[in-house]
Amino acid sequence: MKALDGGRAELSWDCSGPDGVGPWPTFTGNYREAGIEIDGTAVDFPDLSVFTGERYQQVPCGSGAASKIVCAPESPLKSFAIELPAPTTYSLTEFGGKDLRSSLAGSRKGSLIIDLGLSSSLDASAPAPIAGIDFWGNDAVYVPAPSSRNIMPNPSFEQGLRYWRWRGGGATYKPSEIPVYSVVDGGRFGGKALAVRGYSAAQVAQSLPFAVDNGKTYTVSFYAKAEKSGTNVTVGVCSAMAGSKLTRQRAEASHHKLEGTDWERKSFTFTSDTRGICLQIAGNDPVLIDGIQVEEGTLPTEFVAPPVEAAFVCSDPHNVVESGKEIDGKLILSGNGVESAC
C-alpha cells in the first residue's frame, strides 16, 4: 500500500506462485441508500422481498468488465472509488440483503487505486507533535517545541511568572503582605530569578503542565541562593494526568539543604509514568530559584535557556489589560545576556 496525493492510495501485489490475487471489495451498511456505480452506471439492486431471511442467501446483482467502482457517488463527503488500470472482469453478489461483495478477476501481478474523494491532508506548516502528543492536530493548540535539551519553559524566569501559578495550601493571603512568590532582579542567569518567601502554610508554586515521554528517565536541576545557611528548599514533580503515581499529594519531591548563601546547584532524577508533568517549588525561608532544567538522562548537564525570550509588561503591576485604559505596554526581549525593550 502506497499513499498518493489527493486522498488516494495505491494497492499493488506481485505473487511469485502460480496462483494470482483477486481483490474482493465488500460493502456493508447503507450501501443501498448510498448507491453503487460501475463505470457511471448505477447498480440495480433486487427488491428486498427476494430475501427469505437466510443469513447467507446469495442473489447476483450483475457482472461484466469494470474500470471504476464508486460508492455514494452523489455524496462527495462520503464517496470513495476503486480505480482499475484496465477493464477487469467482475461479478456482484448480495448476501442476505446486508452485504454486497464484488469479485474481481485475479492476476499474479497487478494494482488498483483507492480514491477517498474529498479528504483532508496534512498541513506541512502545522507544528510537530511534542513528546508524541499532537497538540495542534487534536485541539488546534500551538505548543512550541523546546529549543534545546532543556524542556522546561521559561527556565530562568526572564518571562516573569509565565507558565507558573499559585497552588492553594490552606493559608489565607492578604494583599498587603509581601508575595510568597515573585520575580525579582539578581538572577544567576539573565537578570531575573524566582523569590520564595516563607508563609504560614504550604503555598506551592506550580508550573503549568508540559509534555514528557512515558517511561523515560529525566533529571531536574536548579540553582538556589539562600539568605542564610541551612535553608531548606523543596522541588517536586507531579503528574498532570490521572493514573500516575506522581499525584499532587505524593509528588516525586526532592528536599535540599543549602549549605551557604551563594548560588548552589541541586538535582534529582525521576522516571515518568505519565505524558505530562508539573514542577512544584516550596520553601519556609527566603530563597532565590533560577536556572531550572528538565532533561532526559540521569545526570544534569550545563544549563541552557532559549536563545530569545519575551516578556510583556505594562503599567498595571499584574499586567492586567483593560479596554479603554492606557497600558504603557512593552515587550522585553532577552537572550544571551542582553535585554532590550520595544
Q: Distance between alpha carbon 280 and the CA centroid of its chain, in Å?
A: 22
- Going by the DSSP 8-state scheme, the letter that residue 134 receives in this structure is -
pLDDT number for residue 252: 59
Please say if the pLDDT value at position 121 is more than 80.
no
List, in order, residues 6 or more apart from 72 with CB less than 8 Å away.
34, 35, 78, 79, 80
Please count the CA atoms within 13 angstroms of the CA of 233 that sit on its side-chain side: 32
104-113 b/e (C-beta count within 10 Å ≥ 16 → b)? bbbeeebebb
Please say if the pLDDT value at position 131 is more than 80.
yes
Cell 474482493, residue? 24
More confident residue, 293 or 118: 293
d(CA 124, CA 26): 34
Q: Answer yes or no: are the C-beta atoms of 270 and 218 closer than 8 Å.
A: yes
Residue 32 φ then ψ, to 5°: -65, -50
What is the percent of the chain where pLDDT is above 90?
55
| 143-169: average pLDDT | 89
By C-alpha distance, which of 82, 89, 91, 43 is closest to 66?
A: 89
Specify the CATH architecture of the domain 164-304.
Sandwich (2.60)
Locate 270 and state its grid cell.
Answer: 525521576
Please say if the pLDDT value at position 340 is more than 70.
no
* pTM exceeding 0.85: no
Q: Answer yes or no: are the C-beta atoms of 148 and 54 closer than 8 Å.
A: no
Work out the number of other CB atoms within 10 angstroms of the CB of residue 330: 13
By C-alpha distance, which of 196, 117, 189, 122 is closest to 164?
A: 196
Residue 139 φ then ψ, to 5°: -135, 10
- Name the helix (H) or strand (E) containing 8: strand 8-14
Work out the number of other CB atoms within 10 angstroms of the CB of residue 254: 18
Could you state, in order of their start, the residue ranges of all structural domains in the chain? Answer: 2-115, 164-304, 307-342
d(CA 201, CA 160): 24
Work out the number of other CB atoms within 10 angstroms of the CB of residue 218: 21
Q: How far is the CA of 213 from the CAs of 218, 236, 267, 274, in angstroms?
A: 9, 18, 20, 7
Residue 304 φ then ψ, to 5°: -140, 140
Please say if the pLDDT value at position 249 is more than 60.
no
| 56-75: average pLDDT | 93
Render pLDDT for 15-38 as a digit per residue (tens, 0 to 9). Answer: 877 778 889 999 999 999 999 999
Mode of pairing for the β-strands spanning 2-4 and 8-14:
antiparallel
Q: How confident is the model at residue 198 (pLDDT cuts 50, 70, 90)?
A: confident
| 201-205: average pLDDT | 70
In the chain, the largest separation of any two C-alpha atoms, in whole Å, equals 93
| 216-242: average pLDDT | 92
Q: Strand, coil or helix: what is 309? A: strand
